[in-house]
Structure 1
Amino acid sequence: MITDPVFYAAAVPAVVLMGLAKGGFSGLGLLSLPLMALVLSPIQAAAITLPILIVQDVVTVWAYRHTWDRRNVAILLPSAMVGILSGYLLAAKVSDAAVTLAVGLIAVAFAVRRMVLERRATPPQAARADVPRGVVWGWVTGFTSMIAHAGGPPFQIYVMPQKLPRDVFVGTGAVFFAVANWIKVPPYIALGQFTPENLATAAALFPVAIASTWAGVRLVRRVSGEKFYTLVYMLLIVVGTKLVVDGTLALI
């Protein structure tokens, strides 16, 4: 297990951010891995993060077990599995920076456009959970999750236009990513990243992970549905901008 206090000074805030994201404040989790990568290699940080995410998934799935959209999950998961496999097979050939930049640009453009449309006198009607869009965005979600740990924005781009009730939106993401994270376990094992040190370090952070996730669930339920979506759009712009900056700096 890692015992360096400097690591935990970065890891504890990162896990808290992941917990708030899992609780419903979508997007904050993308800020966690870069924070941990300040004191670890990105690969080791990702390996420590995945078991923590799986533990947090248990909390969110339990909290939202009665409020999730089965049709969306059924549409997204098959292509997400293909996307995760594609990411694993193409990891050595695809630039993380290019994927990060592309996801960031798409996320910012989508969020800004939706916020402008929502403020019109006649905002757009809710979209349907359709198979063609779901297959495309499911694959993108799985691929970017495996390559650049950035599956949240593509998922939101597909689901948010449906204007699901707040708890259904959060619950659908909870169930979807809970399954997707388990699908990512075999590739991580194949890459030799689940070492005893990494697993023990993740286990040491479990209490913080569980507490912060419950806090996220409680806080999200205090926010009205309308304000919740506005907040998520704003977070998506912030996270998308960060991805653009990260991707651009890495390509320079």
Structure 2
Amino acid sequence: MLPDLPAFAWVLLALAAVTVGLSKTAIPGAGTVPVALFAAILPARQSTGTLLLLLITADAFAITMYRRNANWGVLLRLVPAVLLGVGLGVAFLAVASDGWVKRLIGVILLIVVGVTLSRRWVQSRAAAAAGPGEVGLADAVSAGAAGRRHPVAAAVYGSLGGFTTMVANAGGPVMSMYLLAMRFPVKEFLGTAAWFFAIINLCKVPFSAGLGLITVPGLWVDLVLAPAVVVGALCGRWLASRLNQRLFERLVIVFTVVGAVYLLV
């Protein structure tokens, strides 16, 4: 029942599976890499359903590792917008071609990165202009502006995250930009993201099955690749404890841009 794929294709799929685990426990932006590899090797629609089940496997490890680090206030604010985005994603998948899906997601990701970087630049200029005693206050205000006090940000990022995660399992970069703007420490970032995607990915299963995205051959592929996901998740746990905040944020942004450009070209 396994797809008839050449050896190098299985190697790339195994690499993608390791990256799935790594993205859930260390570098969320890296989640665009397996999206791209699965879509390049498997039929595009089938790749979405196959990858979803591997993501759920990695979610279980991420929750176990970071279950005490989630910010539930942020998660609850995102719920209504995310559900709206998932619904729009289901409707879009029913009528859109793979090409349209990839290009739209790529454009969205680049816009989100651009907005995040511009906000950071403005905030850094404001912090530089402030006196030493005002820097902490400036940081608090900027973090609040990212979502704690402004529901518009949660609505925009939540709906985009729900939409992109439904149509291509590519919601990670969108939500990473939102959580980066919140200036969370590494573990709080990973814990909040872990619970967010664990809940959303489970909710996506019936929709994906109904759209025919989950297939029997895809389930066999998942069974073969699941150990690679576990290896990636465990390696990510080791790596996360050794990443400093600045390097972590830069890696998230770089992987997000690379994934967005790939989807566009």
Equivalent in the alignment of 1:14: 16
* 2:234 is aligned with 1:221: no
Choose the corresponding residue for 1:108, options 98, 107, 113.
Answer: 113
Q: Is the 8 A contact 2:31 2:173 kept in 1?
A: no
How far did 1:207 drift?
0.8
Q: Is the 8 A contact 1:115 1:230 kept in 2?
A: no
- Counterparts of 1:73-222 in structure 2, within 5 Å, are 73-94=75-96, 95-114=100-119, 116-117=121-122, 120=125, 122=127, 125=139, 126-128=142-144, 129=148, 130-222=150-242
Name the structure with the higher helix share.
2
1:88–1:218 distance in 2 versus 1, CA, 3 Å: same
Query: Which residue type is aligned with residue 113 of structure 1?
Result: S
Q: Deviations over 1:133-173 (max 9, x none)?
A: 21221111001111233212221232211111110011101
How far did 1:240 drift?
3.3
Q: TM-score, normalised by structure 2?
A: 0.84
**CA RMSD in angstroms, aligned pairs only:** 2.1
How far did 1:108 drift?
3.4
Rounded to whole Å, the distance in 2 between the matches of 1:107 and 1:240 is: 10
Query: Which residue type is aligned with residue 104 of structure 2?
Result: V
* 2:69 is aligned with 1:67: yes
Q: Is the 8 A contact 1:79 1:136 kept in 2?
A: yes
How far did 1:21 drift?
0.8
How far did 1:119 drift?
5.3
Query: Which residue type is aligned with residue 46 of structure 1?
Result: T
Rounded to whole Å, the distance in 2 between the matches of 1:151 and 1:189 is: 19
Q: Is the 8 A contact 1:88 1:147 kept in 2?
A: yes
* 2:33 is aligned with 1:28: no
How many residues in Structure 1 have an aligned counterpart in Structure 2? 245
Larger of the two Rg values belongs to structure? 2
Q: Is the 8 A contact 2:36 2:259 kept in 1?
A: no
Return 5+ residue gaps in structure 2 as ranges: 129-137
Equivalent in the alignment of 1:51: 53
1:11–1:120 distance in 2 versus 1, CA, 3 Å: same
Q: Is the 8 A contact 2:62 2:191 kept in 1?
A: yes
Rounded to whole Å, the distance in 2 between the matches of 1:7 and 1:24 is: 25
How far did 1:50 drift?
0.8
Return 5+ residue gaps in structure 1 as ranges: none
Query: Which residue type is aligned with residue 199 of structure 1?
Result: L
Rounded to whole Å, the distance in 2 between the matches of 1:39 and 1:240 is: 18
Q: Is the 8 A contact 2:18 2:230 kept in 1?
A: no
How far did 1:121 drift?
7.4
Q: Is the 8 A contact 1:80 1:138 kept in 2?
A: yes
How far did 1:40 drift?
1.4
Q: TM-score, normalised by structure 1?
A: 0.88
Equivalent in the alignment of 2:42: 40
SS at match of 1:164: coil
